[in-house]
A = this chain, B = another copy of it.
Amino acid sequence: MLKERLGEYTNVINEALDKYIEVNKDYDEELKKAMKYSLMAGGKRLRPALILEGYRLFKPNYLEAVPFACAMEMVHTFSLIHDDLPAIDNDDLRRGKPTNHKVFGENTAILAGDALQNYAYQIVSEELVKGNNTENKAKAFNIFATAVGDMIKGEFIDISFEGKKINLDELHIMHENKTGALIKASLLMGAVLAGASENELKILINYADKIGVNFQIKDDILSEIGDEKILGKPIGNDKLRGKCTFVTVLGIHKAKEELDIGTKEAIKVIETLDKNVQFFKELALFIKERDN
């Protein structure tokens, strides 16, 4: 079921993203090209999928959540473009392609990131002026903006950790913000838009926290021992830069063990929700087993 749904959501999101960029009269053509380059570079669309499936848990027709899913993917893409900049991670490759600043120059990459962050909010604002389901949309907007703030905080913690020896707690705090915040917010935004109850949201938060950590552990494992061709970026860069990761802090064996335990826990948590949670059970396994 997971594969079909992810495929379905990827199609829906790619089409909607493409349209959003094309219809926008507010950006210069060249700037749009730079925005689109990274936005359509073959991302996994995990966060949009969480929004759409989070919505679908409670309401069948998830069309209402698509603009929010696009906004989320735009913010995620903005964060990758700025992360890759020479002044931050100085990465040349992302998903097997030259990074944005390598293709368009540093000045355009900075502005393309800024523009994507802003366009995300412009899309949310367009949903809010429609005047229906306003209370839930406002809540989703608030969850979104707060999580993006956390993500930027996580990125800042990350650069301030570089070259330092940090402990497991610090590593967790960094990742809870840098990757966990948007993953959690995605699931919550979908559920909130569809009118989930406080109790239901609690279960989803618990599940999202777990898959957020699992996702990062797996990322760190892949960065260390993944296949460079499948991953689309060089292996072993983290170690080279003296970056602390779950692998460098725990060792590869213990990292894999943590991932195993975390996966089982995530599945156990989501099973307590009285809904069709098949997607989320498979997703927890997929996060553990993916090779890119």
Contacts and interface: CB of A to CB of B under 8 A. Distances in A.
A149 B110 contact: no
Given A128-B141, A134-B134, A146-B122, A87 B115 contact: no
B150 A26 contact: yes
A110 B108 contact: no
B87 A118 contact: no
Copies of this chain in its oligomeric complex: 2
Contacts of A159: 107-108, 111
Given A153-B27, A159-B107, A118 B145 contact: yes
Contact of A26 (B82, B144, B146): B146
B129 A142 contact: yes
A286 interface: no
A152 interface: yes
A125 B141 contact: yes
Nearest to A115: B152
Contact of A125 (B105, B114, B129, B142): B142
B118 A138 contact: no
A249 B107 CA distance: 25
A28 interface: yes
A30 interface: yes
A246 B20 CA distance: 34
A87 to B, nearest CB: 4
B119 A149 contact: yes
Nearest to A89: B107
Contact of A110 (B87, B119, B141, B142): B87
A76 to B, nearest CB: 13
B111 A125 contact: no
A199 B248 CA distance: 64
A153 B117 CA distance: 13
A85 interface: yes
Given A31-B153, A125-B141, A125-B145, 9 more contacts: A27-B152, A27-B153, A28-B153, A28-B156, A28-B157, A30-B156, A78-B114, A87-B110, A108-B159
